[in-house]
């Protein structure tokens, strides 16, 4: 999520545009979290200054936070191309209690700018790995700012048109103040692979498969799904879809004309187990090893219909998202043990990045010819590499600005700088029905329990005598196996009784202090004996 602000001369208040409003998926260091959304606290009290929200394409990391943030921001108008609009509205069905969105459709062929306050916005077509992706040329009183969107240049795309280079060049010829350009693929030399190459490499796999073809890819990768339908038609196969998001996106894309599916090709998933394997394709989600996705249920033999056979051909037509390596490897192992033959992007070019490589980024710079370069999207090292690429193309170092989450980049006609102050950009965690109620301290507790477990010790104390009745009860989860840890537990009980009875001699007893003392003492003791630091939870009950 990016905020573009224009502050008129002599005024304090800005006019604002928001570009994208996405979510981030959790990683191993965020246990229990469903996903992460942007921190929009900076905009609190500024809602009336937001002129509009522009969604550049239909991926969740660019539009997935709309149900959580649009309402609190007083529902500004949203602008999106037809496919992204359809996906936004479909997702909104899962949030029936949120305000109805004010959403406008962008027609990429309409050259008339969208005027919102001091801004005039012109979309232009780029390639990505989902159709209907756009960049934005944003006119301001100081000059034009170009936002590239996630993009690449594909001269032979499948299910899409080539990027509109003529339009981009025409925009660049006006004189561009700043280019905000995608940096995700900058560390790859050359040009990104065309989808037509992927199609050529998938063709022999479909042709030579001895049985069913099971192809897993991102639910939003509409172009790759189109390739599966084309190859299925070519080799006389029918296609079954599995996965809620896959079915939803295919329905939207087909309804809008972005997917061409021959009549009679689709079949219910139940037929995929009964039909001749040589006439069957299963298109499903779960290539990232998600625990509840269709492919993981198939691999674990938990799917209601599909069972892996020895003549099945498994295609992973997606790269691995960082953080998912272990779960994807487990998935491949489980499928291989059941006899499936596996193809993935490391063995063959059957997945293409949707992001521009170094030579594509140079082409964008050549077409736009900006005064200032602001690398966006990607890790900090990628932003830095993109800035250096810009310098190799003749953009002076002082005319580039490398930001970070929460950075404020300020520029006018003469200069650009990353300001010293920053806005709040801490993660906002969505966990079940809770939004933002899981803070860093809660996450640290989860990480501690996941790493070394927890140890609960319950002591019943006689209020009059200040002594422990009987032996303290112990509950251990993820720390030690109680039946095999008798000496350790006996010493822990002994320490608790001693600490309680020492404190019980003082009147009145500060039981909060006693619990903290037990927690610290047992923490040190357990680390000394086991080199582990479980979460220690002492419970004292007075009777």
| Residue 355 designated active-site | yes
Backbone phi and psi for residue 204, each to the nearest 5 degrees, phi listed first? -65, -25
Q: CA nearest 308: which of 348, 267, 345, 277?
A: 277
In contact, 78 and 53? CB cutoff 8 Å? yes
DSSP 315-350: EE-SPPPTT-HHHHHHHHHHHHHTT-EEE-TTTS--
Angle, helix 380-392 to helix 358-368, in steps of 10 degrees? 60
Catalytic residue of the set 150, 154, 182, 452: 182
Burial group, residue 535, by CB count within 10 angstroms (0-12, 13-18, 19+): buried
Give the integer Cα–Cα distance in Å for 184 and 192. Answer: 12
Cα 113–chain centre separation: 31
Q: H or E segment at 89? A: helix 82-92
Residues 6+ apart with CB under 8 A from 52: 17, 18, 76, 77, 78, 79, 114, 116, 119, 121
Distances (CA, A) of 220 to 53, 275, 323, 356, 484: 21, 27, 20, 18, 50
State yes or no: is 182 an active-site residue.
yes
- Neighbouring-strand partners of residue 140: 143
Q: Tell me if residue 543 falls in helix, strand or coil.
A: coil
Q: Is there a cis peptide before residue 477, judged by omega within 30 degrees of 0?
A: no
Indicate the SS3 state at residue 313. strand
Angle of helix 244-255 versus helix 82-92 axis, rounded to 10: 140
Question: Tokens at residue 80, please?
Answer: 């999106």
Concatenating the DSSP letter of every residue in 385-398 gives HHHHHHHHTT--GG
Assign 437 to helix, strand or coil. coil
In the set 355, 360, 377, 386, the catalytic residue is 355
* Rounded Cα gap, residues 16 and 3, in angstroms: 7
| H runs (alpha helix) in 356-411 | 358-368, 380-392
Contacts of 361 (CB under 8 A, 6+ apart): 181, 182, 183, 185, 186, 386, 389
Q: 419 burial class (0-12, 13-18, 19+ CB within 10 angstroms)?
A: exposed
Helix and strand counts by DSSP (H, E) for the chain? 15, 26
Walk across the sheet containing 114-116 and list its strands.
Answer: 114-116, 119-125, 134-140, 143-147, 176-182, 370-376
Task: Tell me which residues are annotated as active site.
Answer: 182, 355
């Amino acid at each position: 999520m990016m905020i573009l602000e224009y502050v008129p001369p002599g005024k304090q208040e800005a006019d604002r545009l928001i570009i994208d409003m996405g979510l981030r998926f959790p990683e191993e260091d965020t246990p229990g979290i469903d996903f992460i959304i942007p921190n929009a606290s900076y905009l609190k009290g500024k809602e009336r200054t937001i002129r509009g929200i522009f969604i550049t394409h239909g991926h969740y990391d660019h539009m997935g936070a709309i149900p959580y943030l649009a309402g609190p921001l007083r529902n500004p108008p949203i602008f999106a191309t037809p496919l992204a609009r359809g996906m936004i509205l479909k997702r909104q069905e899962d949030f029936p209690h949120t305000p109805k969105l004010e959403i406008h459709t962008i027609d990429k062929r309409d050259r008339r700018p969208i005027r919102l306050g001091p801004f005039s916005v012109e979309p232009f077509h780029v390639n990505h790995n989902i159709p209907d992706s756009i960049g934005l040329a944003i006119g301001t009183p100081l000059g034009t700012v170009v936002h590239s969107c996630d993009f690449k240049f594909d001269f032979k795309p499948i299910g899409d048109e080539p990027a509109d280079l003529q339009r981009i060049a025409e925009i660049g010829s006006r004189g561009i103040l700043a280019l905000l350009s995608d940096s995700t693929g900058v560390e790859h030399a050359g040009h990104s692979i065309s989808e037509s190459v992927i199609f050529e490499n998938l063709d022999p796999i479909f042709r030579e498969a001895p049985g069913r073809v099971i192809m897993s890819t991102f639910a939003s990768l509409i172009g790759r799904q189109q390739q599966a339908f084309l190859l299925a038609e070519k080799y006389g196969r029918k296609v079954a879809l599995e996965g809620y998001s896959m079915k939803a996106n295919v329905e939207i894309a087909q309804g809008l004309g972005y997917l061409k599916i021959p009549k009679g090709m689709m079949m219910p998933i139940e037929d995929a187990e009964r039909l001749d394997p040589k006439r069957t394709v299963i298109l499903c989600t779960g290539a990232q090893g998600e625990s509840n996705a269709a492919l993981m249920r198939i691999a674990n033999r938990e799917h209601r219909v599909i069972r892996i056979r020895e003549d099945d051909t498994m295609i992973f037509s997606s790269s691995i998202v960082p953080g998912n390596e272990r779960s994807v490897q487990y998935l491949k192992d489980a499928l291989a043990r059941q006899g499936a033959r596996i193809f993935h992007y490391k063995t063959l070019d059957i997945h293409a990045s949707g992001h521009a490589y170094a030579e594509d980024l140079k082409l964008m710079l050549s077409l736009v010819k900006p005064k200032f370069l602001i690398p966006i999207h990607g890790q900090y090292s990628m932003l830095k590499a993109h800035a250096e690429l810009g310098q190799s193309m003749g953009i002076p170092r002082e005319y580039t600005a490398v930001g970070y989450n929460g950075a404020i980049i300020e520029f006018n006609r003469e200069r650009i700088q990353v300001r010293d102050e920053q806005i709040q950009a801490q993660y906002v965690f969505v966990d079940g029905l809770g939004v933002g109620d899981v803070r860093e301290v809660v996450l640290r507790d989860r990480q501690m329990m996941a790493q070394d477990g927890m140890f609960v010790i319950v002591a019943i104390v006689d209020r009059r005598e200040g002594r422990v009745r009987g032996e303290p009860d112990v509950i251990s989860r993820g720390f030690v196996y109680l039946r095999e840890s008798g000496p350790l537990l006996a010493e822990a009980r002994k320490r608790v009784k001693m600490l309680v009875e020492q404190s019980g001699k003082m009147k009145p007893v500060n039981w909060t202090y006693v619990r903290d003392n037990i927690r610290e003492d047992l923490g040190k003791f357990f680390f000394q004996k086991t080199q582990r630091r479980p979460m220690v939870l002492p419970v004292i009950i007075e009777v």
